[in-house]
Amino acid sequence: MKKTFFKTFFISFIVFSLVWGGFIYKTVIKATGESDEEEYRETFLDRLIDGKDDITFLLLGVDSKDVKKSSGTRTDTMILCRVDKSTGEITMLSIPRDTKARIRGRKYEEKINHAHAYGGPELSVKAVKDLLGIDLEYYVKVDYNIVREFVDLIGGVEIDVPMDMKYSDPIADPPLYINLKKGYQTLDGEKALQFLRFRKGYVDQDLGRIKAQQEFLKAAIDKALRPSNVVNIPSMIKTYYENVETNIPLDVIMKFAMKAKSFSSDSIQANTLPGASKYINGVSYFIPNQEETNKLVKALFTDQRAVENSENNDGEAN
């Protein structure tokens, strides 16, 4: 069984962990030196106030225990995410790891999760841009540890496990041992990781796993945003910086974090790339339905921006 897991918890970090913005702001200010403090404060706050209401980024989960040492590994999770701080909406498009796609620099189409092994998160971003025909700049890359630590920090996640889950793979890295009973229960960090890595029992395997993981994410965000978890924010920030690699600027993250109270699991729209699995020359691929994909991407990531830009232009004209 290939290693599988779900790393969309970073959305939660964007939403609330940097509500502790004063803490980070002071840390950044001090790092610049006292003489630059006033100038930095002005430029930093200017960037914090200005800018768009939405951000789109590619979430990458890597087959690694340490995100800082994950070069050369394949991604196990790829999710295109759009967060709108003006409405509180979070839009996600899960891209199956076996999706057959063009990867720049390769002669033939391959599984899209190979892109990271060839050229890191930057090549993964380019592969998704080419696949979906969108503008994309930012990425967020996370490892196994963030799931375990995050779930333990928020006191576990309540989830209805749909079936008995049992599997073992001692040679996996890290070793994989899954033993969960069917039914509603609270999963700690270790059991949550087992739940999110389980694949074989679903009828449609990867697609079934994606659906289960999307439900888990909603439950996790609901739990994380409870007032009782505010005291855990400093620990969440520490976990974030130890297990996340991203090219999203700090001030952009803070701008969205300041709107944390407007986010909830009810505002999450979870989608999966349209298509079907198919064997080609003995290899299993996920083949996107191009027509349906174009419609979905246009509705989720293009039309909304066009409407927003039109409204902004009208406002400026008036």
Supply the pTM of this predicted model: 0.74
- Confidence at residue 66, expressed as pLDDT on a 0 to 100 scale: 58
pLDDT digits 0-9 by tens, 226-276 = 777 767 766 776 777 777 888 888 777 767 666 555 566 677 888 999 999
Contact residues for 264 (Cβ-Cβ < 8 A; gap 6+): 88, 221, 222, 225
What whole-number distance in Å separates Cα of residue 193 and Cα of residue 207? Answer: 18
- Confidence at residue 173, expressed as pLDDT on a 0 to 100 scale: 67
Question: Is pLDDT at 19 greater than 80 in this prediction?
Answer: no
What is the maximum alpha-carbon separation in the chain?
Answer: 65
Vertex 59 angle, CA 287 and 124, to 5°? 60
Q: Residue 274's closest CA among 263, 261, 290, 260? A: 290
Question: Is pLDDT at 188 greater than 50 in this prediction?
Answer: yes
Provide the percentage of residues in the chain whose pLDDT is more than 90.
35
pLDDT digits 0-9 by tens, 23-49 = 333 344 344 444 444 544 444 445 444
Distances in Å between the alpha carbon of 302 and those of 60, 99, 168, 174, 298? Answer: 21, 22, 43, 39, 5
pLDDT digits 0-9 by tens, 74-87 = 888 899 999 887 77
- Confidence at residue 65, expressed as pLDDT on a 0 to 100 scale: 61
* Ranges 95-104, 196-205, 234-243: which has the least confidence: 234-243
What whole-number distance in Å separates Cα of residue 186 and Cα of residue 82? Answer: 29
Helix (H) or strand (E) holding 45: helix 37-49
**At which residue do the structure tokens 């990458």 appear?**
60
How would you list the strands of the sheet with 138-142, edge to edge?
Answer: 244-246, 138-142, 54-62, 75-84, 89-94, 268-272
- Confidence at residue 260, expressed as pLDDT on a 0 to 100 scale: 53
